[in-house]
Structure 1
Amino acid sequence: MAEIRYCDGASFMAAVNPETKLYLRGRRIFSFVIEELMSTQGMSNAENALLIGTSAAGLATILNCDRFHSFLPSVCRVKCISDSGFFIRAKHLHGAQDNIIYKFRNTVLFHELAEFLPKSCTQRHVTELCFLPENVVNDIRTPLFLLNSDFDRYQLGVHVLPNSCIEVGWKDCLKNNSNLPCCTDNQLQLIMDFRTTFLKTLEKLDDNPSRGLFITSCYVHDFVYEPFNWQGIPTLQNKTIQQALGDWYFERSSVLFIDCQNLYPINCIVTV
């Protein structure tokens, strides 16, 4: 196993521009790391390979999934897992801010990513929208697993705000699950509306038999780097995250699990 620290600000997608002499090396870093693993760590002889990333790196995993596969054409099983990387635009969510598009547009323009995003996506959408998972996941050919919460703590806190950004108690409401009783009715409604919007966004994805889903209602963001928290995550269809990922990766069964029971975020944090 090798860990690559996310460091370039553009999902390991940017390249050096010889004209402007803007040395953005994310794409080169990704290539060099994979090539190093293949030449010195024996990854070129692997039978199974898995690319996985969390949060911003979960987005990077989606965007680089097919590229990762292209380095390993002879490996029998190459797949990708995006942990908490399915960021949504929530365009029609009442009270939502469209700052995610502002951020993504600036990233795409500054890092000159247009040529590196899937052409099948940029032919349908303006370029910055193809940096958004909901628009690009259908263009990923390599098997992809989406591990996420439909009450994603980060997205609720950063991308979704009440009509008034200074509404009293909003930040306190979102601090942790135990604060929900202190939330106003309007705040609770917005939280529930985000979940509805998140699930509707997932529904727009095509029916790809190689894709996996494990969508919990835990009030968390990031699963992989907080493995002790997995103890507190309810099973879905009687499967833990570990079991679901194993079944999907080794193709023992399809895994399309969504928590439809909890209308409010649940506390899944285990104190150790």
Structure 2
Amino acid sequence: MATTMMNVNAVLVAITLALLTCSPRCIYSDDQRLMVNMTLVRNASALGAFCLDGSLPAYHLHRGFGGGARNWLLQFEGGGWCNSIKSCLDRANTRRGSTRYMSKWEVFSGILSNNASLNPDFYNWNRVKLRYCDGASFAGDAVYKNGTSLLYFRGQKIWEAIILDLLPKGLGQARKALLSGSSAGGLSSFLHCNNFTKYLPSTASVKCLSDAGFFLDERDISSNHTMRSFVKDVVSLHGLEKNLDENCTASSLNFPELCFFPQYALKFITPPFFILNSAYDVYQFHHILVPPSADPQGHWNRCKLNPAACNPQQLNTLQEFRRDMIVAMGLSYKYSRRGGFFINSCFGHGQSESQDSWFAADSPRVHNRTIAEAVGDWYFSRRATKEIDCPYPCETTCINLIPSTQALLQDLRSY
């Protein structure tokens, strides 16, 4: 009995020591998920950096250790955009437009995990999640007020304020850095990749990654430019044009808003860039290719919920969309020695922060490589990474070809 009690006490002491040595800003839940606390950028107001509703911007930082103590991974949070005063006012009263409504603790998984068996190349880096609350991929710079309503379109200032807050915390001495993001955050990686290098030492290895951020300038099934029109409204409302790449806008004088689309901005990005995307990205499928306005009778509803229910004509349209995405990346980028891409055929949206899709026993694979392996091989120049999956329905490694109806509707409501 005494021996048993001694063993129990030893275990309790070990647990206590483990908790004491954990960063005060992190906690592990029962299922061993890493939870990281929010950091508000207290001096953001001096820069005019506010969320849509005027609240302070924020990020979550989990410190690196060992060989990764001077390496940094910054992950932009995603969450769509707002393109009108009404939609932005609505957004300002949610977690997409205010840190007041955000969860104060975030799960760090996938590319943000601190577990070497789950994130072999970046687990011990300083990992930062930039919270998204401006509605324009961290790129706008304007203010709206009409006497009763006030909206801050300050995404560019938020980006700058967070970076300036991180520089004295070690980012300014980074040896390696990866700017990443998912969905609208993946688009942010395209928009800020060049600028990111200006804050870091000239000796640092700086690269960028976009997950589900390669939004296409594509006509919908009614031959309308629905997404182009939407983007034009976003750029105009948020005062975003001045923050787009100058070389790109100079080459698109008549339509500078096109530089919001990665396919036009990509060739002007100088750091090495990696594109992670599904060729059948469900957000683009449902909002760019087949938006509700283009299918008022709902002929595509069953196909949207289950690709096996698509008729031959619908499948052909999807295959044409896949082809256009690959072509839009450009032959010059395809054969670039420094760039990389992983284009699989899973019907999903965002794969870097989900552990199941990032790196697990049953993760999606292209040519027998997981996403984590492909990104790591590219970043560390171990092996060229330019993987394009075969067209649907040949893919057999996708965890879910398409989300469940309930999960899909919940995801779409967040945009």
TM-score norm. by structure 2 comes to: 0.59
**Among 282, 286, 307, the residue aligned to 1:157:** 286
Q: Which residue of 1 aligns with 2:386?
A: 256
Contact 2:182 2:211 in 1 (8 A): yes
Contact 2:280 2:322 in 1 (8 A): yes
1:131-150 equivalences in 2 (<5 Å) = 131-150=260-279
Q: Secondary structure at the match of 1:123?
A: helix
Larger displacement relative to structure 2 (102-111 or 23-32) = 23-32
Q: Secondary structure at the match of 1:73?
A: coil
Contact 2:217 2:261 in 1 (8 A): yes
1:30-69 equivalences in 2 (<5 Å) = 30-39=159-168, 41-69=169-197
Superimposed CA distance per residue, residues 120-160 of structure 1 (whole angstroms, 9 cap, x where no aligned partner): 11111121101111000111111111000111111111111
Q: Which residue of 1 aligns with 2:138?
A: 12
Aligned residue type for 1:145: F
Deviation at 1:203, TM superposition (A): 3.1
Q: Which residue of 2 aligns with 1:98?
A: 225
Aligned residue type for 1:69: T
1:1-272 equivalences in 2 (<5 Å) = 1-16=127-142, 23-39=152-168, 41-91=169-219, 95-125=222-252, 126-161=255-290, 165-175=295-305, 179-206=306-333, 207-230=335-358, 231=360, 232-259=362-389, 261-264=390-393, 266=395, 268-269=398-399
CA distance in 2: counterparts of 1:141 and 1:19, whole angstroms: 37
CA distance in 2: counterparts of 1:26 and 1:118, whole angstroms: 15
TM-score norm. by structure 1 comes to: 0.87
CA distance in 2: counterparts of 1:47 and 1:156, whole angstroms: 39
Aligned residue type for 1:217: S
Deviation at 1:60, TM superposition (A): 0.7
Deviation at 1:168, TM superposition (A): 4.3
Q: Where does the alignment leave 5 or more consecutive residues of structure 2 unmatched?
A: 1-126, 404-415
CA distance in 2: counterparts of 1:85 and 1:242, whole angstroms: 17
Q: Secondary structure at the match of 2:197?
A: helix
Residue 82 to residue 212, structure 1, CA distance change in 2 (3 Å) = same
CA distance in 2: counterparts of 1:53 and 1:183, whole angstroms: 31
Superimposed CA distance per residue, residues 205-239 of structure 1 (whole angstroms, 9 cap, x where no aligned partner): 54432211111111111001222134444432332
Q: Percent identity?
A: 34
Residue 5 to residue 97, structure 1, CA distance change in 2 (3 Å) = farther
Residue 14 to residue 75, structure 1, CA distance change in 2 (3 Å) = farther
Residue 189 to residue 22, structure 1, CA distance change in 2 (3 Å) = same
Q: Where does the alignment leave 5 or more consecutive residues of structure 1 unmatched?
A: none
CA distance in 1: counterparts of 2:302 and 2:282, whole angstroms: 13
Residue 55 to residue 205, structure 1, CA distance change in 2 (3 Å) = farther
CA distance in 2: counterparts of 1:26 and 1:45, whole angstroms: 25
Larger displacement relative to structure 2 (216-225 or 65-74) = 65-74
Once superposed, what is the RMSD of the aligned Cα atoms?
2.7
Residue 251 to residue 17, structure 1, CA distance change in 2 (3 Å) = same
CA distance in 1: counterparts of 2:321 and 2:275, whole angstroms: 18
CA distance in 2: counterparts of 1:243 and 1:81, whole angstroms: 14
Contact 1:169 1:183 in 2 (8 A): no
Residue 75 to residue 19, structure 1, CA distance change in 2 (3 Å) = farther
CA distance in 2: counterparts of 1:96 and 1:229, whole angstroms: 33
Residue 168 to residue 43, structure 1, CA distance change in 2 (3 Å) = closer
Q: Secondary structure at the match of 1:155?
A: helix
Deviation at 1:64, TM superposition (A): 0.6
Aligned residue type for 1:133: P
Aligned residue pairs: how many?
Answer: 265
Larger RCO (CA under 8 A, 6+ residues apart): 1
Superimposed CA distance per residue, residues 23-77 of structure 1 (whole angstroms, 9 cap, x where no aligned partner): 42211111111111111x2121221111110001100111011111111133521
- Say which one has the larger Rg: 2
